[in-house]
Amino acid sequence: MAIVAVNMVPLGKGTSVSRYVAAAERAVVGRPGVKRDLGPMFTTLEGDLDEVLGAVRDMQEAVFAEGVERLITTIKIDDRRDKKASMEDKLASVNSKLET
């Protein structure tokens, strides 16, 4: 199970990017096998790595469909193979240490 942080920056389209973020999000909402969490600076996706990378590609195409001609996409992949991990597990681990 991979956890992937995705950040997309359309170039040459002004300072507000919410229109493009919404287009990218629509491309993955309800996508089977991929869980998503929209944050203020990036979207986190969780699932099989091939499925998640396909979702990232769909997100890119959705932004290009909005008239963007250049898009910088940054992804960070946490692909853990030693045990099953989820977005919630990672947060719970940190939060449990904050309580001590």
- What's the predicted TM-score (pTM) here? 0.91
What pLDDT, on a 0 to 100 scale, did the predictor assign at position 85?
86
Helix (H) or strand (E) holding 96: helix 87-98
Mean pLDDT rounded to a whole number for the chain:
95
- Dump strand ranges (E) for 1-100: 2-10, 34-38, 43-47, 71-79
Closest CA to 33 of 19, 22, 47, 23: 47
| List of domains in the chain | 2-98 (3.30.70.930)
Model pLDDT for residues 46-98, shown as the tens digit of each residue: 999 999 999 999 999 999 999 999 999 999 999 998 988 899 999 999 999 99
Per-residue pLDDT of 12-41, as tens digits, reads 988 899 999 999 999 999 999 999 999 999
Q: How far is CA 25 from CA 31, 35, 85, 99, in A?
A: 10, 12, 23, 33
Least Cα distance to 74 among 2, 1, 4 occurs for 4
Q: How far apart are CA 4 and CA 54, in angstroms?
A: 12
